[in-house]
Structure 1
Amino acid sequence: MKSVFKKLFLTYTFIYTFSFFVQAESYQVSLLTCDPGDEIYSIFGHSAIRVINQETGEDLVYNYGTFDFNAPYFVVKFTQRTLDYMLSVTTFDRFIYEYQYFQRNVREQELDLNDQQKDEIIKFLKINSLPENKSYRYDFFYDNCATRIRDMFEVVLGKNLKWNEINEPEEKSFRELIDEYVYPLPWYDLGIDLALGSVIDATASERDKQFLPDYMEMAFGRASIEGDGPTRPLVKSQRTILEFPERNIAGSLFNPYLAMWLIAIIFMVITYLGYTKKRLFIGFDVALFGILGLIGLLVAILWFLTFHSQTKWNWNILWAFPGHLILVYGLLKHKISVWVRKYLMFALIMADAAVVFWILGWQSFHPSLIPIMLVIILRTNFLYYNLEKFKSGRPNLEK
């Protein structure tokens, strides 16, 4: 009887082991890298994992970059970083249709994994795609569609995965890395620089750079697998799935640089006219500081009332300060209060501090903001010294 059980056990073990290897060998695991699109949510590109069952023909794409547009309070959650992203699973044909439609290039790197590693990757993805596991709290730099894939391979391959980083890589900050993608879209560039704080001026390590799909693609191309047999490149082969003619994004004449310098010239002219004609032209200042105050309010909300780590320590608040809305109220009053002149001096010092922060490299501001800072310095000086003098524009200060 024991010999019978022993034979059955050995037979079962052989069949299970054989079926495991046959099953694992029938799979192909690839990294898909998609080029940037024209919209802000697609401008940095995309990464996904493709799994092909060569035995059944099943061809699936595991995508960590999806979220529910119909989620309650979508805009509020997205702004606060309380909106969960999720791992979705779709067929390759459905996945590639979108990139075909928007004419975005897609490249594939087939990975040289052994049977056990393929099996572990597939199990990892299937467990992660379960309803109770598929959602995660998105972080643009540290937990996104690319870094989730990288982290998965580091968990599964462990010490066998060697990234083979460049010995003397080019040093780039997170902001500089972002600028590579948004430079052709100057208004997006300005918006990002306004919203994100000094924390993104830190130098990104080679591993940090992998939050961008293009950089992760290059990292996978350099990586190797060691310790489970002969050392081999992580990428077995690569091919281009979709390729379209390079699109040149035409620069618009109306860009932040032109707009800000036009504003600066207007304020220089009205300041000169105000000085020669002994008038204040406070209506222009109400508009200027009203807009700056609203921008400052947004900066403060992103800094203090959201969970985004990248919006902290944002020194744009030095020149775009929420308190400027109080200044607007003071300037609109029939009689100018004494505190208004004190606030003007405060606003002047804050703007000067922003320039110092920029020069010292504590935060890099968008270059188009130079004329706006000059305007703030110019107008706060002008109003501070002339509110009492030019009574044609305003009556006496309240005592």
Structure 2
Amino acid sequence: MGKHLKKLLLIYPFIYSTIFFANAQQYQVSLLTCDPGDQLYSAFGHSAIRIWNKETNQNWVYNYGTFDFNTPFFYLKFTQRTLDYMLSVTTYERFLMEYNYFQRNVREQVLDLSPEQIAKLIEFLDNNYLPENRFYRYDFFYDNCATRIRDVMEQVLGEQLDWNEDLLAEQKTFRNLIDEYVYPLPWADFGIDLALGSVIDIDAKEREKQFLPDYMEAAFDRAVIVGDGPSRKLVKEKLEVLNFPPRESKMDLLNPYVLWWIFAIAVVVLTFVGYKKKRLYKGFDVGFFAALGLLGLVIVSLWFFTFHSQTKLNWNVLWALPTNLILAFALLGNQVKPWVRKYLLAAMTLTNVALLVWIFGIQSFHPSIVPVLLVILLRTNFLYYNMDRFGWEKKA
């Protein structure tokens, strides 16, 4: 009896794999790529894997881009990058409902996988969907809904997958890649450039560009399968699942480019009038430097107190100094404290350093901050040279 059981155990994996591979022939595997939406969370598009059993018509979509809104301290965890995303599974019809409702195009690339590769892919996804495996720590550039699919394909196909990278592709930094998508959302573009540091001002490799669904779609188009008989394209068929007329992109007049220049012109007028009337109008400076200080605190918090790798080395802090809050409180008094003039000189200097950081390509700042930097230079100079003459007393 023991010998028969031993023989059965030896041949069982072969029998199981034969049946599994045979059943895999009835499956169709596709990459779904969804166009960007109008909101920041959807501005970069989306990717998912479709598994369709053509005999039973079971039609599933594996989606690595989901998270639980009911997570305790959701927004705090999202800000600190301690929020876990997860792999979810839904029906193909339900998946398309959202994109149909928001009129976002969806394209499908049917993959030319062998039955063995399909079986291995389904097995990998089902194992990944187990409760103990489905959660992962999201990273926008390096571990998101698109890169997870890329990693799955590399895990399943191994050395048989050749991305066939375009050696003549244009070099783009991670910030350049983001700008392509957030340009229609000027305030989101402004906020992203304030929050993300110089670490994203490096060229992205072709494989790294796949954090964006459109670029991964293009990579799948180029990819080939080798070492499995004659080399063949990874994608054997491309389909338009949802296709809507293009929508007009309208730029809001109250965008940072317009608003900050209006603000700067108003400050120039205020400063000119103050010079003529020998008044400092320091109430403006209290509010202005307090706002810069609060912004600086946010930048420092994102740099040092979160797990986001993209918010490190953010040299916006050179002009948005957290210590400006201290200056704002000092300006409330009627006497000039000895350190204030030295601080104003330091703030002027660091703002000029920030411009050099931008000019020499160490970090790319949002273009709309130019008038803000001019205001900082104008008001620090004005206070530095005139606060003694225009009514403040010196404090020993």
Greater displacement, 19-28 / 279-288: 19-28
The SS at the match of 1:317 is: helix
Whether 1:386 and 2:386 are equivalent positions in the alignment is yes
Deviations 1:134-163 (A, max 9, x none): 000000000000000001111111111011
Helix, strand or coil for the counterpart of 2:40? coil
What's the CA shift for 1:17? 5.5
Distance 1:138 1:278, change over 3 A: same
The 5 A counterparts of 1:205-284 are: 205-284=205-284
Task: Give 1:22's aligned residue.
Answer: 22
- Show CA shifts across 1:279-311 (max 9, x none): 101111112111111111100100000000000
- CA drift of 1:20 comes to 2.6
Query: 2:393 maps to which residue?
Result: 396
Work out the CA distance in 2 between the residues paired with 1:7 and 1:257. 76
Aligned equivalents of 2:274, 2:175: Cα separation in 1 = 40
Say whether residues 1:290 and 2:276 are aligned partners.
no
Alpha-carbon distance, 1:337 to partner: 1.1
Counterparts of 1:356-367 in structure 2, within 5 Å, are 356-367=356-367
In structure 1, what is the Cα distance between the partners aligned to 2:260 and 2:311?
23
Name the residue aligned to 2:55: 55
Contact map agreement 2:198 2:314 (CA 8 A) in 1: yes
The aligned runs of 1:303-322 (5 Å cut-off) are: 303-322=303-322
Q: Deviations over 1:108-135 (max 9, x none)?
A: 0010011111111111100111111000
Task: Give the secondary structure class of the aligned counterpart of 2:120.
Answer: helix
Cα shift readout 1:303-339 (whole Å, capped 9, x = no counterpart): 0000000000000000011100000000012322111
1:200 equivalent to 2:200? Answer yes
Report 1:1-399 matches (<5 A).
16=16, 18-391=18-391, 395-399=392-396
**Deviation, structure 1 residue 12:** 7.5
C-alpha offsets along residues 348-375 of structure 1, whole Å, 9 cap, x if unaligned? Answer: 1111110010111100000000010011
In the alignment, the residues of structure 1 paired with residue 82 and residue 339 of structure 2 have an alpha-carbon distance, to the nearest angstrom, of 40
- TM-score, normalised to structure 2, is 0.96
The whole-number CA distance in structure 1 between the counterparts of 2:194 and 2:13 is 62
Task: Give the match's secondary structure for 1:60.
Answer: strand
Runs of 4+ in 1 over 3 A off after TM superposition: 4-18
**Shift, 1:96, TM fit:** 0.7
Q: Which moved more, 1:47-56 or 1:360-369?
A: 47-56
Equivalent position SS for 2:336: coil
Q: Distance in 1 between matches of 2:334 and 2:344?
A: 18
Write the distance in 2 (CA, Å) between the matches of 1:143 and 1:201.
Answer: 19
Task: Give the residue type in structure 2 aligned to 1:143.
Answer: D
Distance 2:265 2:9 in 1: 88
Residue pair 2:21, 2:119 contacting (<8 A) in 1 also: no
Q: How far apart are the structure 2 equivalents of 1:101 and 1:253?
A: 28
1:345 aligned partner, one-letter code = L
Give the alignment's Cα RMSD to 1 decimal. Answer: 2.1
Amino acid at match of 2:26: S
Q: Which runs of 5+ in 1 are unaligned?
A: none
Q: Encode CA deviations 1:165-222: one digit per residue, 9 max, x unaligned.
A: 1121101000000000001111110000000000111001111100000000000000
Q: Aligned equivalents of 1:6 and 1:325: distance in 2?
A: 77
Distance 1:5 1:123 in 2: 26
CA offset digits 1:29-75 (Å, max 9, x no partner): 11000000111111000000000112221110000000011100001
**1:164 and 1:178 mapped to 2: Cα distance?**
24
SS in 2 for 1:132: coil
- Quick one: distance in 1 between partners of 2:394 and 2:250? 51
| Distance (whole Å) between structure 2 residues aligned to residue 183 and residue 5 of structure 1 | 66
- Residue type at the aligned position of 2:369: L
Q: Which amino acid aligns with 1:306?
A: T
What is the rounded CA distance, in whole Å, between the counterparts of 1:55 and 1:322 in structure 2? Answer: 63
Counterpart AA for 1:339: W
Name the amino acid aligned to 2:70. Answer: N
CA distance in structure 2 between the aligned counterparts of 1:10 and 1:310, rounded to whole angstroms: 51
Identity %: 62
* TM-score normalized by the length of structure 1: 0.96
Q: In the aligned structure 2, how far is the partner of 1:17 from the partner of 1:300?
A: 55
- Deviation, structure 1 residue 86: 0.3
Equivalent residue letter for 1:80:
Q
Alpha-carbon distance between aligned partners in 2 of 1:107 and 1:374, rounded to the nearest angstrom: 46
Query: Which sections of structure 2, spanning at least 5 residues, go unmatched?
Result: none
User: Structure 2 vs 1, CA of residues 23 and 342 (structure 1 numbering), >3 Å: closer, same or farther?
Assistant: same
* Structure 2 counterpart of 1:398, one-letter code: K
SS at match of 1:270: helix
Amino acid at match of 1:169: A
